[in-house]
Amino acid sequence: MANKKNKTNLERRDLLKGLAGVPVAGFFLLNLWQKIRRDKIKKSNLLSDLVQEKKAPAVVKSVSNSRQLNIGIIGYGGRGGHLVRGAGFATTAWTDKASENARKNKLDKQFETFMTQEDLNCSLVGVSDLFDVRADQGIDASKNETRPGGKPAVTAKKYPRYQDMLANDEIDAVIIATPDHWHAKIVIDAAKAGKHVYVEKGLTRTFDEAVDIYDVVKETGITFQLGHQNRQVEANEKAKQIYRQGLLGPVNLVEIATNRNSPWGAWVWNIHPKGNAKTIDWETFQEPSPNKIPFGEEALKRFFRWRCWFDYGTGLSGDLLSHDFDAINQIMDIGIPKYASSTGGVYFYKDGRDVPDTWNATFEYPDHKDGGLTLLYSATLSSANPRGNRIMGHDATMQMGGQSGGGSIHGFAVTADEYSTQYKERLNNGMINPSYPIMTYSPGSKDIDGVTSATSKYFANKGLLYTYRDGKRVDPTHLHVKDWLDSIRNGTQPRCNVDVAYHEAVACAMATESYLTGRRVEYDAKNRKLI
């Protein structure tokens, strides 16, 4: 009897010792369950409760195969080359280098992104550039077989005069990527010739030219797209939903910024060794500019670094303010400001330029629905401190781009305001902590790629280099060109049509005018005039 009891005791002790981990695991599971439950409550308070649409924007419906289109490029420079790549044509030099980069650095996805982009069912049939070397590169791109969709059907023709290209009836549409001072004339000529137009930003050099473009596009009914590829960036569409839902509360101040700190970023671009009086048509180049100079060393500098002079562009205004202004217009539908004023100067790059390298502009919207709105733009070309853009609401602030670290490319973070009215209860019961974002958005965070150069990083933070569709990396420039071509085929309006293009052009022109005249500029919407 005693023996049996002893044995049972022994067995029980055995069992207890063998299963000693069970209570530990039980305690663990209890804690895990509490943690999961708490996280769930927190999430429901912060996310599902707040953001109605949680899914990423759908992929643009593919209609690229319905009708073949013939396109021409006017101005095949750095940007023109990128746009034509967006349409599916890259130079052999580019594909060779990109594939070599991919071989050397497995994280470099540029080549893969290009080769996997959708074939837009178009042919590059005409190239026009005032610099012969560039025109030849465009021809080379038109016949390069390394491209999505395989061997091109035709080789492009070189047009020294763009007017001859517009006279070709086989051409359906043109991409215009010349310096800004040529935009208005070419857009008007193209629209009158019945060609659909994709034109690079900034839309025009002057206010009057913007009005002319607006009118001619409306009169002719062509399909018009301005080159703000941010319109295709997923994060901006997401930000728009959040703003529209009122999650930020009333917004009275928006800050946008440019922070660059490299010669390239300040438009000190290389002067091509083959650039000379024979290869460059200088007289045609300076035809629409207010001041003319004879061809020589200074002219060469101006030809390749045209963004540094008001004769050909508007510097920070048309090049960089325009992007960020348009992104805010995309998110908040702010339209044209009532007043603009700006100040700045050439404080760092004393290389003969006349456009400012440090520049601040304010735009006033006294009639904005939130009671009134100030848009503040601050730019420097001598510091790369990533300030990012901020939409500052009474209830929460949205910080876009410019975040350091975390591998977040063109995402944003929304942080509740300590004194918010909307979130008062949640702040009081500790459900929302104003020190941490209530929501962060960084698309493609599982898809890592190496964006290496400083300029690439600048654009990636602004969301201008890559965006994500269904988790796949795509070049927004490609999506923007596709949006334009699809709209031509469907007879619909592309995302950056002439209405929103006009907003950007007028806002930028007002700020430029203010800098040049030293006074506050007002927009008279009724008479379409600057006062």
- How far is Cα 303 from Cα 133, in angstroms, rounded to an integer? 14
225-249 exposure pattern, b = at least 16 Cβ within 10 A, e = fewer: bbbbbbbbbbbbbbbbebbeeebbb
Q: Exposure of 272 by Cβ count < 10 A (0-12 exposed, 13-18 middle, 19+ buried)?
A: middle
Question: Do 445 and 406 touch, CB atoms closer than 8 A?
Answer: no
- How far is Cα 157 from Cα 159, in angstroms, rounded to an integer? 6
> Residue 290 interacts with other proteins (CB under 8 A)?
no
Which range binds other proteins by CB under 8 A, 21-29, 131-139, 220-228, 451-459?
21-29
- How far is Cα 254 from Cα 393, in angstroms, rounded to an integer? 9
> Residue 32 interacts with other proteins (CB under 8 A)?
yes
Interface residue with other proteins, options 36, 41, 154, 167 (CB under 8 A): 36
Specify whether the backbone of 521 is left (phi greater than 0), alpha (psi in -120 to 50) or beta. beta
Which range binds other proteins by CB under 8 A, 9-17, 200-208, 231-239, 279-287?
9-17
Contacting other proteins within 384-413 (CB under 8 A) = 405, 407
Which range binds other proteins by CB under 8 A, 14-22, 114-122, 154-162, 343-351?
14-22
> Residue 435 interacts with other proteins (CB under 8 A)?
no
Phi, psi of 419 (to 5 degrees): -105, 20
* Cβ closest to other proteins, residue 106 vs residue 526: 106
The helix or strand, by DSSP H or E, that contains position 187, with its residue range, turns out to be: helix 180-192
| Residue 113 Cβ vs other proteins, minimum distance, rounded to whole Å | 14
Question: Do 231 and 478 touch, CB atoms closer than 8 A?
Answer: no
> Residue 471 interacts with other proteins (CB under 8 A)?
no
> Residue 47 interacts with other proteins (CB under 8 A)?
no
* Cβ closest to other proteins, residue 271 vs residue 448: 448
* Cβ closest to other proteins, residue 15 vs residue 93: 15
| Residue 32 Cβ vs other proteins, minimum distance, rounded to whole Å | 7
Q: What is the DSSP string of 101-153?
A: HHHH-TT--HHHHHHTSPP--EEEEEEE-SBHHHHHHHHHHHH-S-STTSS-S
Question: Do 125 and 72 touch, CB atoms closer than 8 A?
Answer: yes
Which range binds other proteins by CB under 8 A, 78-86, 249-257, 307-315, 445-453?
445-453
Question: Do 414 and 439 touch, CB atoms closer than 8 A?
Answer: yes
Binding mask 332-371 for other proteins (x = CB under 8 A): ----------------------------------------
| Residue 405 Cβ vs other proteins, minimum distance, rounded to whole Å | 6
* Cβ closest to other proteins, residue 41 vs residue 107: 107
Contacting other proteins within 104-143 (CB under 8 A) = 106-107
Which range binds other proteins by CB under 8 A, 11-19, 50-58, 148-156, 456-464?
11-19
Interface residue with other proteins, options 6, 8, 9, 10 (CB under 8 A): 10
Question: Do 56 and 442 touch, CB atoms closer than 8 A?
Answer: no
Contacts 24+ apart (CB under 8 A), 99-104: 99/146
> Residue 454 interacts with other proteins (CB under 8 A)?
no
Which range binds other proteins by CB under 8 A, 24-32, 274-282, 360-368, 386-394?
24-32
Q: How many residues bind other proteins (CB under 8 A)?
A: 20
**Beta-bridge partners for 491:** none
* Cβ closest to other proteins, residue 448 vs residue 454: 448
> Residue 518 interacts with other proteins (CB under 8 A)?
no
Interface residue with other proteins, options 1, 20, 58, 531 (CB under 8 A): 20
Which range binds other proteins by CB under 8 A, 22-30, 147-155, 381-389, 467-475?
22-30
Interface residue with other proteins, options 5, 17, 278, 350 (CB under 8 A): 17
* Cβ closest to other proteins, residue 47 vs residue 271: 47
Interface residue with other proteins, options 1, 2, 24, 531 (CB under 8 A): 24
- How far is Cα 429 from Cα 454, in angstroms, rounded to an integer? 43
- How far is Cα 203 from Cα 319, in angstroms, rounded to an integer? 10
> Residue 25 interacts with other proteins (CB under 8 A)?
yes
Q: Which residues, 6 or more positions from 307, have their beta carbon under 8 angstroms from its beta carbon?
A: 179, 267, 313, 315, 319, 355
Tell me: cis bond preceding 202? Omega within 30 of 0 counts.
yes
Q: Exposure of 52 by Cβ count < 10 A (0-12 exposed, 13-18 middle, 19+ buried)?
A: exposed
> Residue 100 interacts with other proteins (CB under 8 A)?
no
Q: Which of 519, 466, 458, 513 is nearest to 257 (CA)?
A: 458
> Residue 30 interacts with other proteins (CB under 8 A)?
no
* Cβ closest to other proteins, residue 146 vs residue 440: 440
Which amino acid belongs to residue 292? Answer: K
| Residue 88 Cβ vs other proteins, minimum distance, rounded to whole Å | 25
- How far is Cα 84 from Cα 216, in angstroms, rounded to an integer? 25
* Cβ closest to other proteins, residue 112 vs residue 370: 112
> Residue 55 interacts with other proteins (CB under 8 A)?
no
Q: Which residues bind other proteins (CB under 8 A)?
A: 10, 14, 17-22, 24-25, 28, 32, 36, 106-107, 405, 407, 445-446, 448
